[in-house]
Amino acid sequence: MPSKETLLNSLRLSVATASLLLGGLVGAPAFAQSEPKMVPIDSTAEAFVSVFNGTCVKFYGSPDKLRADLESRKLPLVEEARRPPFLHEEAGQAWSLSNGKGDFVIALRQTGGCSVFARRANDVDVQLLFSTLVQRIQVPGAPMLKVADKHDPSAAGDTHYVAYAQQRTTPGPYARFSVATTASDKVAIQAVATVTTAEKK
Protein backbone atom coordinates (compact mmCIF):
# COMPACT_ATOMS: atom_id res chain seq x y z
CA MET A 1 0.00 0.00 0.00
CA PRO A 2 1.42 3.42 -0.93
CA SER A 3 2.79 5.70 1.78
CA LYS A 4 1.09 8.99 2.67
CA GLU A 5 3.64 10.97 0.60
CA THR A 6 3.19 8.65 -2.39
CA LEU A 7 -0.57 9.04 -2.13
CA LEU A 8 -0.29 12.83 -2.01
CA ASN A 9 2.08 12.98 -4.99
CA SER A 10 -0.07 10.61 -7.03
CA LEU A 11 -3.18 12.57 -6.13
CA ARG A 12 -1.59 15.83 -7.29
CA LEU A 13 -0.60 14.26 -10.62
CA SER A 14 -4.12 12.88 -11.02
CA VAL A 15 -5.56 16.31 -10.23
CA ALA A 16 -3.47 17.88 -12.99
CA THR A 17 -4.77 15.30 -15.46
CA ALA A 18 -8.34 15.75 -14.24
CA SER A 19 -8.04 19.50 -14.70
CA LEU A 20 -7.14 19.06 -18.35
CA LEU A 21 -10.01 16.65 -18.90
CA LEU A 22 -12.44 18.89 -17.03
CA GLY A 23 -11.37 21.79 -19.22
CA GLY A 24 -12.72 19.92 -22.18
CA LEU A 25 -16.11 19.66 -20.54
CA VAL A 26 -16.71 23.08 -19.04
CA GLY A 27 -17.55 25.79 -21.49
CA ALA A 28 -18.95 23.21 -23.90
CA PRO A 29 -22.54 22.00 -24.46
CA ALA A 30 -23.53 19.78 -21.57
CA PHE A 31 -26.02 17.04 -22.17
CA ALA A 32 -28.79 16.39 -24.64
CA GLN A 33 -32.37 17.12 -23.65
CA SER A 34 -35.53 15.62 -25.12
CA GLU A 35 -35.30 18.33 -27.77
CA PRO A 36 -32.48 18.21 -30.34
CA LYS A 37 -30.77 21.34 -28.97
CA MET A 38 -27.99 21.26 -26.38
CA VAL A 39 -28.15 23.20 -23.12
CA PRO A 40 -24.92 24.97 -22.07
CA ILE A 41 -23.54 24.35 -18.61
CA ASP A 42 -24.24 27.07 -16.08
CA SER A 43 -21.27 29.45 -15.98
CA THR A 44 -21.50 29.85 -12.20
CA ALA A 45 -21.38 26.06 -11.73
CA GLU A 46 -18.29 26.03 -13.97
CA ALA A 47 -16.68 28.76 -11.91
CA PHE A 48 -17.57 27.04 -8.64
CA VAL A 49 -15.95 23.73 -9.58
CA SER A 50 -13.00 25.57 -11.12
CA VAL A 51 -12.43 27.48 -7.86
CA PHE A 52 -12.65 24.24 -5.85
CA ASN A 53 -10.22 22.53 -8.23
CA GLY A 54 -7.78 25.45 -8.15
CA THR A 55 -7.74 25.77 -4.37
CA CYS A 56 -8.83 22.85 -2.20
CA VAL A 57 -7.90 20.16 -4.71
CA LYS A 58 -4.75 21.72 -6.11
CA PHE A 59 -3.32 22.32 -2.65
CA TYR A 60 -4.67 19.15 -1.04
CA GLY A 61 -2.33 18.13 1.77
CA SER A 62 -0.59 21.53 1.73
CA PRO A 63 -2.75 23.96 3.73
CA ASP A 64 0.11 26.40 4.25
CA LYS A 65 0.65 26.67 0.49
CA LEU A 66 -3.07 27.22 -0.05
CA ARG A 67 -3.12 29.94 2.59
CA ALA A 68 -0.10 31.61 1.01
CA ASP A 69 -1.70 31.43 -2.45
CA LEU A 70 -4.93 33.03 -1.25
CA GLU A 71 -3.05 35.73 0.63
CA SER A 72 -0.90 36.47 -2.43
CA ARG A 73 -4.08 37.11 -4.39
CA LYS A 74 -5.13 39.56 -1.69
CA LEU A 75 -8.56 37.97 -1.28
CA PRO A 76 -10.53 39.57 1.56
CA LEU A 77 -10.93 37.53 4.72
CA VAL A 78 -14.46 36.78 5.86
CA GLU A 79 -15.17 38.65 9.08
CA GLU A 80 -14.59 36.50 12.14
CA ALA A 81 -18.21 36.80 13.27
CA ARG A 82 -19.40 35.38 9.92
CA ARG A 83 -16.93 32.48 9.72
CA PRO A 84 -18.50 29.74 11.91
CA PRO A 85 -21.01 28.44 9.31
CA PHE A 86 -18.21 28.14 6.75
CA LEU A 87 -15.86 26.38 9.17
CA HIS A 88 -18.38 23.97 10.74
CA GLU A 89 -17.83 25.77 14.05
CA GLU A 90 -14.10 24.91 13.94
CA ALA A 91 -11.11 27.22 14.05
CA GLY A 92 -9.78 28.35 10.70
CA GLN A 93 -9.93 31.06 8.06
CA ALA A 94 -12.28 31.91 5.20
CA TRP A 95 -11.81 34.14 2.16
CA SER A 96 -14.36 35.77 -0.14
CA LEU A 97 -13.99 35.51 -3.90
CA SER A 98 -16.16 37.25 -6.50
CA ASN A 99 -14.94 36.72 -10.05
CA GLY A 100 -17.74 38.09 -12.19
CA LYS A 101 -19.37 34.66 -12.51
CA GLY A 102 -20.37 34.18 -8.91
CA ASP A 103 -19.80 34.85 -5.24
CA PHE A 104 -17.79 32.20 -3.39
CA VAL A 105 -16.19 31.55 -0.02
CA ILE A 106 -13.07 29.43 0.38
CA ALA A 107 -12.80 27.99 3.89
CA LEU A 108 -9.73 26.31 5.36
CA ARG A 109 -10.24 24.64 8.71
CA GLN A 110 -7.42 24.27 11.20
CA THR A 111 -7.90 20.51 11.03
CA GLY A 112 -7.01 20.64 7.32
CA GLY A 113 -10.44 20.34 5.70
CA CYS A 114 -11.05 22.69 2.79
CA SER A 115 -14.40 23.80 1.34
CA VAL A 116 -15.72 26.14 -1.32
CA PHE A 117 -19.22 27.63 -1.00
CA ALA A 118 -21.33 29.16 -3.76
CA ARG A 119 -24.14 31.56 -3.07
CA ARG A 120 -25.84 30.60 -6.32
CA ALA A 121 -25.05 27.79 -8.78
CA ASN A 122 -27.11 25.36 -10.82
CA ASP A 123 -27.35 22.23 -8.68
CA VAL A 124 -27.52 19.72 -11.54
CA ASP A 125 -24.51 21.19 -13.32
CA VAL A 126 -22.49 21.39 -10.10
CA GLN A 127 -23.12 17.69 -9.45
CA LEU A 128 -22.15 16.80 -13.03
CA LEU A 129 -18.92 18.80 -13.04
CA PHE A 130 -17.90 17.79 -9.51
CA SER A 131 -18.38 14.09 -10.24
CA THR A 132 -16.49 14.40 -13.53
CA LEU A 133 -13.55 16.01 -11.75
CA VAL A 134 -13.36 13.64 -8.80
CA GLN A 135 -13.82 10.45 -10.80
CA ARG A 136 -10.75 11.43 -12.84
CA ILE A 137 -8.63 11.56 -9.68
CA GLN A 138 -7.32 8.02 -9.48
CA VAL A 139 -4.40 7.02 -7.28
CA PRO A 140 -2.67 3.64 -7.71
CA GLY A 141 -3.51 1.41 -4.78
CA ALA A 142 -6.35 3.62 -3.55
CA PRO A 143 -9.12 3.93 -6.17
CA MET A 144 -11.71 6.69 -5.81
CA LEU A 145 -15.25 5.35 -5.41
CA LYS A 146 -18.63 6.89 -4.65
CA VAL A 147 -19.53 6.20 -1.03
CA ALA A 148 -22.68 8.30 -0.57
CA ASP A 149 -25.50 9.62 -2.74
CA LYS A 150 -28.58 10.80 -0.91
CA HIS A 151 -31.34 13.38 -0.92
CA ASP A 152 -32.47 15.19 2.21
CA PRO A 153 -35.81 16.96 1.84
CA SER A 154 -36.46 19.98 4.03
CA ALA A 155 -38.68 23.03 4.22
CA ALA A 156 -36.03 25.01 2.31
CA GLY A 157 -35.85 22.43 -0.48
CA ASP A 158 -34.23 19.11 -1.37
CA THR A 159 -30.48 18.82 -0.67
CA HIS A 160 -28.45 16.40 -2.78
CA TYR A 161 -25.31 15.06 -1.05
CA VAL A 162 -22.67 12.99 -2.86
CA ALA A 163 -19.32 11.78 -1.52
CA TYR A 164 -16.32 9.97 -2.97
CA ALA A 165 -13.44 8.42 -1.05
CA GLN A 166 -10.20 6.67 -1.78
CA GLN A 167 -10.46 2.98 -0.94
CA ARG A 168 -7.68 1.47 1.16
CA THR A 169 -7.23 -2.14 2.20
CA THR A 170 -4.68 -1.32 4.91
CA PRO A 171 -4.50 1.38 7.61
CA GLY A 172 -3.49 4.84 6.43
CA PRO A 173 -4.73 8.23 5.19
CA TYR A 174 -7.21 8.69 2.38
CA ALA A 175 -8.95 11.62 0.72
CA ARG A 176 -12.70 12.14 0.91
CA PHE A 177 -14.49 14.50 -1.48
CA SER A 178 -18.09 15.62 -1.04
CA VAL A 179 -20.57 18.04 -2.55
CA ALA A 180 -23.97 19.22 -1.34
CA THR A 181 -26.35 21.17 -3.56
CA THR A 182 -29.90 22.46 -3.59
CA ALA A 183 -32.10 23.97 -6.28
CA SER A 184 -33.87 26.14 -3.71
CA ASP A 185 -33.29 29.89 -3.95
CA LYS A 186 -34.54 30.29 -0.37
CA VAL A 187 -31.18 29.33 1.10
CA ALA A 188 -28.07 31.49 1.50
CA ILE A 189 -25.77 28.84 -0.03
CA GLN A 190 -26.74 26.59 -2.94
CA ALA A 191 -23.55 24.53 -3.24
CA VAL A 192 -20.60 23.47 -1.09
CA ALA A 193 -17.72 21.19 -2.10
CA THR A 194 -15.28 19.78 0.45
CA VAL A 195 -12.14 17.68 0.61
CA THR A 196 -10.83 16.23 3.86
CA THR A 197 -8.30 13.61 4.92
CA ALA A 198 -9.50 10.66 6.95
CA GLU A 199 -7.60 7.75 8.44
CA LYS A 200 -8.38 4.09 7.92
CA LYS A 201 -7.72 2.30 11.19
Residues 91-132 pLDDT 10s: 899 999 998 899 999 999 988 899 999 999 999 999 999 999
Q: Could you tell me which residues come within 8 angstroms of residue 54 by beta carbon, excluding any fewer than 6 positions away?
A: none
Q: Could you tell me which residues come within 8 angstroms of residue 82 by beta carbon, excluding any fewer than 6 positions away?
A: 94
Q: Could you tell me which residues come within 8 angstroms of residue 194 by beta carbon, excluding any fewer than 6 positions away?
A: 56, 113, 114, 115, 177, 178, 179
Q: What is the dihedral of CA 80, 84, 89, 92, to 10 degrees?
A: -50
Residues 175-189 pLDDT 10s: 999 999 999 988 999
Task: Give the residue, 98 or 89, on which the prediction is more confident.
Answer: 98
Where are the domains positioned within the chain? 4-200
pLDDT at 155: 66
According to DSSP, the residues that pair with 196 across neighbouring strands are 176
Residues 3-25 pLDDT 10s: 545 544 544 444 444 444 444 44
